[in-house]
Chains A and B, each alone.
Chain A
Amino acid sequence: MSVRAAALPVPLLRPGGGAAFRRWTERESVFSWLMIVPPLLFLMALVGYPFVYGIWLSLQDRPVAHAGTFVGLRNFVTNAHDPVFWQVARNTFVYTFCATVLKAVGGLGMALVMNQVFPAKNIIRAIMLLPFIVPTVLSTVAWMWILDPSFSVVNWAMFQMGFPKPGPAWLGNPYLAMFSLIMINTWRGLPFYGITLLAGLQTIPPDLHEAAVIDGAGSWARFRYITLPLLMPVIFIVTLFSVIFTFSDFQLVYVLTRGGPANATHLFATYAFDIAMSAGQFGLGASVALAMLPALAVVIMGLAFYMRSR
């Protein structure tokens, strides 16, 4: 393209400070930073500052609506001597581990099923995602009613099949409550795995499978030596996200059990909420929330390592 008059508007119009300013903003690094500064300031004010302030709070005895006093690591020592804190830690790990494994295996199953040819595929895929898009609290309320102590439809069905009344207390028994939470978390998170792994499956070139068939590979061998290895990067990154959001889950527990019975289902997030919001101990609550940090840091470092290796 030839250079038209419009190509040189800056020097022609105003050869003063305005032009110099415009030349300055046209520099790549200056333009970049001018763009980046507003969102960066926003994130620093509302993520960076609260994060640091949270650490500062965790070092204080800080009842709500009172000034705090610096107590050093005393909150962390209190936690270390608190059996409930360790129970919460154990609950969080069990919950995260079981739900993540179930979601990964079930999601892989869902993806393999959905990767076949069948009618109305797009509509079915859209329906499968519903648990993931609908507000979690609202679908959890439905689960609460499904597991209601007196009118549970699950217990009704079990009774019809010959189990004795009144049936299990799904949210009242410590083990069953944890089991129920894990199942409901899996129900909600499965589509994220399923649909993402499906997208991953669709990037695998079909000729690989065709060549393997010619070489006499059975369907298990093809899954084991073609599909799974090629899907591994996607599985890794989806699991990473899933671990973080399961580990820091709040809504399910808050709605279904509030951490009960007898703290059997408290997770870090709900326990920190109880201490800070219900008992009004901001400092101690902040220290419980910060206890999530080491495990999260490991996961985030995993991500950094992964990004670098690719």
Chain B
Amino acid sequence: MVHGHGRFGKAIRLWIPLGFFLIVTLFPFYWMAITSLKPNAELYSTKVMPLIVHHPTLKHYVDLLTETSFLEWTWNTSIVAVVSTAISLLLGSMLAYPLARMRFPGGALIAFTVAATYLVPQPLLFIPLADIINRLNLGNTLTSVILTYPTMLIPFCAWLLMGYFKTVPRDLEDAARIDGATRWQTMVKVILPLCTPGFISAGIFAFTLAQNEFLYALIFLTNTDVRTVPVGAITELVRGDVFYWGQLMAAALLGSIPVAIVYSFFVEHYVSGLTSGSVKA
């Protein structure tokens, strides 16, 4: 730690490292943006200073949107992310509610199983899953990824929601029960509405994970019309040995924007989702 006082100390403790982190974080995005705006003559020239755009053009964006299936990939990605997030929130809360608020035989074992399932990485499962998806004739359907994404999202949502469900005081539940509410009514009308922030956190986190997923989408989706943005970009904007760098960067930027927008609205919820497992656990 630095013993610094005044302006000089603050520069060493704060501004210099902060500036370094910001530049390193943002440079690749800056590079995406300016590459996508450069004409090819400028992109593939070693004589031009590369850090700025000399003759900006939207050609790569126009080509991306008119000559490739990028819009279709975006649509597919959104459908898959929304539906698999919804399934994961529903099934995740069904797991989390009893684990957080009830006593029943086998509860501890289930809780551990959920935690362990969360830690099973995809590469351990993709080969058998590829075979299973084939046998079910689900290859090249969005259903294949809508069914498999929740396998990683449900344990996560359950884990996160458990923390929120536990915070609702027991008295509220008892009061509702004394008033004659069934367990189902108590859950749906009393407890769950109080946990809305938890659902937003879990939902936003699951949504970004689903947008991000690559391995299952790469294996299960091999036709252009069912691909998601990450798979479409990496397989179809690279033809043989030829990289369409301008279009690739335009796709990378456009593909990142929906996630970034959703994220920017819910940063606080995202952060609490990110940190809940480790800080509150």
User: By the criterion CB–CB under 8 Å, are B151 and A39 in contact?
Assistant: no
Minimum distance in angstroms from A203 CB to a CB of chain B? 6
Q: Specify the chain B residue showing the minimal Cβ separation from A240.
A: B119
Nearest-Cβ distance from residue B270 to partner chain A, whole angstroms: 7
B259 touches A133 (CB 8 A): yes
User: Are B91 and A195 closer than 8 Å at their CB atoms?
Assistant: no
B residues 243-267 touching A (CB-CB < 8 Å): 243, 245, 248-249, 251-252, 255-256, 259-260, 263-264, 267
Query: Are A223 and B1 CB-contacts (below 8 A) given A199-B279, A296-B119?
Result: yes
Say whether A32 contacts B107, CB under 8 Å: yes
**Does A214 count as interface, using CB distance less than 8 angstroms?**
no
Contacts of B206-246 to chain A: CB distance below 8 A: 208, 211-212, 214-215, 218-219, 229-231, 233-234, 243, 245
Is the Cβ of B124 less than 8 Å from the Cβ of A293? yes
Measured between C-beta atoms, what is the minimum distance from B225 to chain A in Å? 19
B interface footprint on A229-249 (CB within 8 Å = 1, 0 otherwise): 000011001100100110110
Q: Which residues of A contact B103 (CB under 8 A)?
A: 28-29
Which of B44, B98, B123, B158 has the largest number of chain A CB atoms within 10 A?
Answer: B123
CB distance from A163 to the nearest CB of B (A): 15
* B contact residues around A220 at 8 Å (CB): 1
Closest to B275 in A: A199
Question: When the two chains form their complex, are residues B51 and A142 in contact, meaning their CB atoms are under 8 A apart?
Answer: no
Residues of B within 8 A of A187 (CB): 24-25, 28
Please give, as numbers and ranges, the residues of chain A lying within 8 Å of B43 by CB-CB distance.
151
Q: Is the CB of A303 within 8 A of B119?
A: yes
**Interface: A134 (CB within 8 A):** yes
* A53-B132 in contact (CB<8A): yes
Chain A residue, CB-CB nearest to B218: A254
Whether A28 lies near B125 (C-beta < 8 A) is no
Give the residues from 68 to 120 in chain B that come closer than 8 angstroms, CB to CB, to chain A.
91-92, 94-95, 97-99, 102-107, 110, 112, 115-117, 119-120
- Residue A9 interfacial (CB < 8 Å): yes
Known A-B contacts A32-B104, A153-B31, A269-B123; the reply to A196 vs B278 at CB < 8 A is: yes
User: Is A273 close to B, CB under 8 A?
Assistant: yes
A128 to B154 CA separation, bound complex (whole angstroms)? 27
CB-contacts of B173-187 with A (<8 A):
175, 178-180, 182-184
- Interface majority SS (helix, strand, loop, mixed), chain B: helix
B155 contacts which chain A residues (CB < 8 A)?
A: 43
Contact across chains for B28 and A137 when beta carbons are under 8 A apart: no
- In the assembled complex, A70 has its CB within 8 A of some CB on chain B: no
CB distance from B147 to the nearest CB of A (A): 7
Contact A307 B115 (CB under 8 A): yes
B260 and A133 contact, CB distance less than 8 A: yes
Q: Which of A116, A135, A195 contacts B274 (CB 8 A)?
A: A195
A219 to B2: give the CA distance in the assembly, Å: 7
Measured between beta carbons, the chain B residues less than 8 angstroms from A22 are 182
Q: With a CB–CB cut-off of 8 A, which chain A residues contact B255?
A: 135, 138
Q: Is A51 an interface residue (CB 8 A)?
A: yes
Contact of A51 among B125, B154, B245 (CB under 8 A): B125
Interface centre among B128, B150, B158, B267 (most CB of A within 10 A): B128
Interface pair B278/A238, CB less than 8 Å apart: yes
CB of B14 within 8 Å of the partner chain: yes
Is there contact, CB below 8 Å, between B215 and A203? no
Whether B271 lies near A135 (C-beta < 8 A) is no
Contacts of A148 in B (CB 8 A): 245
Pairwise interchain contact A292-B124, C-beta atoms closer than 8 A: yes
Q: Name the CB-closest residue of A to B44.
A: A151
Cβ-defined contact, A153 with B50, below 8 A:
yes
Q: Which residues of A contact B234 (CB under 8 A)?
A: 137, 141, 255
Interchain CA distance A284-B35 in the complex, whole Å: 41
Q: How far is the CA of A150 from the CA of B277 in the complex (A)?
A: 44
Confirm or deny: B3 has a beta carbon within 8 angstroms of a beta carbon on chain A: yes
A195 to B278, CA, bound (A): 11
- Shortest C-beta distance, B254 to chain A (Å), equals 9
Interchain CB contact under 8 A, B31 and A50: no
Chain B residue with the shortest CB-CB distance to A5: B180
Q: Would you call A161 an interface residue if the criterion is a C-beta within 8 Å of the partner chain's C-beta atoms?
A: no
List 16 other contacts, CB 8 Å, given A8-B180, A32-B98, A118-B18. Answer: A9-B180, A50-B129, A51-B125, A110-B21, A133-B270, A135-B214, A195-B274, A218-B3, A237-B277, A241-B119, A250-B122, A269-B123, A269-B215, A272-B123, A282-B131, A303-B115
Residues in A lying within 8 Å of B, measured CB to CB: 1, 3-4, 6-9, 22, 25-26, 28-29, 31-33, 35-36, 38-40, 42-43, 46-47, 49-51, 53-54, 57, 109-110, 113-114, 116, 118, 122, 124-131, 133-139, 141-143, 145-146, 148, 150-151, 153, 156, 187, 191-192, 194-196, 199-200, 203, 218-220, 222-223, 233-234, 237-238, 241, 244-245, 247-248, 250-251, 254-255, 268-269, 272-273, 276-277, 282, 285-286, 289-290, 292-293, 296, 299-300, 303-304, 307, 310
Residue contacts A-B, CB under 8 angstroms, 8 given: A22-B182, A32-B104, A129-B270, A134-B29, A145-B245, A200-B278, A269-B123, A296-B124
